[in-house]
Amino acid sequence: MDSILVKGNGPLSGSIPIAGAKNACLALMPATLLSEEPLTLTNAPRLSDIKTMSALLQSLGGEVSRMQDGKVLALSSHDLTSSWADYDIVRKMRASNLVLGPLLARTGQAQVSLPGGCAIGARPMDLHIEGLEALGAEIELRDGYLHAKTAGGRLKGAQFELRFASVGATENIVMAATLAKGTTVLTNAAREPEIVDLVKCLRAMGAQIEGEGTSRIEIQGVDALHGATHQVVADRIELGTYMLAPAIAGGEVECVGGSLELLGAFVEKLDEAGISVEATEKGVKVKRRGDRIKAVDVKTEVFPGFPTDLQAQMMALLCTAEGTSVLEETIFENRFMHAPELTRMGANIEVHGGQAKVHGVERLKGARVMATDLRASVSLILAGLAAEGETVVSRVYHLDRGYESVEDKLSACGAKIERITE
């Protein structure tokens, strides 16, 4: 099994290219199920999660091929042969549930296994089910599968308010509503950039949607969607992760292809901690203003608040801050599993329920640590950049789900990092 070896090596210098957004691409790919015509996605990330979604679409009769070094995905669902999303594929990744809405809208039926993914919380499907039922779907859970069908052969527009601004539920409902008869008004909708990107793609396919990026999205159903070509938005979580690399290790790094508009609340916290962030012609440039950063308090929230997917990486930064920081996790209940691993590196962290107190220490020390989920894995790598000695991060298959060529991108900036097989 592969591990990542990191040796603390001082300041970083150089540039890091930011890939297309994993979470955006995983929502865009199922959109192909809504049309008989081809969908082409450019700037697609090369990740194991993308392979999993490709396998799922192919199991339904879809066609998926990679071009231009894998950065372009050509998708087609002209001849769907199945509406059964099998457990053996779906269990690997939560986003697999995003085929539910499109299958239901296009074929009138779907059988989708309850999903898997990182063990960071319950993340139930109730909001997805409630929204699709509001559109006229009949859904029941049997033997671990959601069995869904439309009573009248086609979904119908409706007004529906999400109890929580769930990204996945928003995506599923919006995709399903594009082919529903009549108008759908979705309130308390998620506002994340990935939602905006999905709507841009759906609109290019002929969907009639307004309000993306706000809490109210209106969809006028159409009879059919056509093919399109769409560029995947830059990955704001990868961007934030690499912005933290020079903040932790020192030096200056330019994140090419990134945009500050994607990370407003996160950038505000970096500034508060003493980190300089500057927009450039190519992207975003980051450097630490002083020798040691300042402690800050962080509360994760739905967009435009501080992203839960950057909480672990931010904790790694605050481990060596001057003072005590408090991190409050409000999205997922099990998302402090990286804290004990950071403690193995000399961090001083107290976790009580959904809150973690991080008492800054002057220096972390290298250790053998274990990745517990996707974002935790990269937080340990970031910590290793500033630690004395060697850090070995095991179970990095989590990492490969969401980060493309981490070793190459960081080593190009002077980091001592390599993948090893143990």
Q: Read off the pLDDT of residues 314-326 as tens digits, 9 standing for 90 and up.
A: 999 999 999 999 9
Main-chain dihedrals φ then ψ at residue 209, nearest 5 degrees: -135, 140
Residue 266, C-beta contacts closer than 8 angstroms, at least 6 positions apart:
240, 243, 306, 307, 310, 314
**Is 38 assigned to a binding site?**
no
Q: Which CATH architecture best describes the domain 22-231?
A: Alpha-beta prism (3.65)
User: Residue 333: its pLDDT value, please?
Assistant: 65
Model confidence at 121: pLDDT above 80: no
Whether the CB-CB separation of 391 and 6 falls below 8 Å is answered with yes
Exactly one of 25, 118, 201, 413 is catalytic; name it. Answer: 118
Q: Read off the pLDDT of residues 3-53 as tens digits, 9 standing for 90 and up.
A: 999 999 889 999 999 999 999 999 999 999 999 999 999 999 999 999 999
**Is 89 assigned to a binding site?**
no
Question: In what order do the strands lie in the sheet containing 159-161?
Answer: 159-161, 183-187, 216-220, 208-210
Rounded to the nearest integer, the mean pLDDT of the chain is 94
30-34, 302-306, 364-368: segment of lowest average pLDDT: 302-306
**Is 275 assigned to a binding site?**
no
**Is 22 assigned to a binding site?**
yes
Say how far apart CA 297 and CA 290 lie, in whole Å. 19
Residues of the chain within CATH 3.65.10.10 domain(s) are 2-18+234-421, 22-231
Going by C-alpha positions, the residue among 249, 285, 248 that lies closest to residue 267 is 285
Helix (H, G, I), strand (E, B) or coil at 256: strand
Q: What is the mean pLDDT of residues 268-294?
A: 96
319 is catalytic: no
What does pTM read for this prediction? Answer: 0.92
**Is 23 assigned to a binding site?**
yes
Q: What is the mean pLDDT of residues 325-332?
A: 91
- Specify the CATH number of the domain 2-18+234-421: 3.65.10.10
Model confidence at 117: pLDDT above 50: no
**Is 123 assigned to a binding site?**
yes
**Is 94 assigned to a binding site?**
yes
Residue bearing the bigger pLDDT, 390 or 332: 390
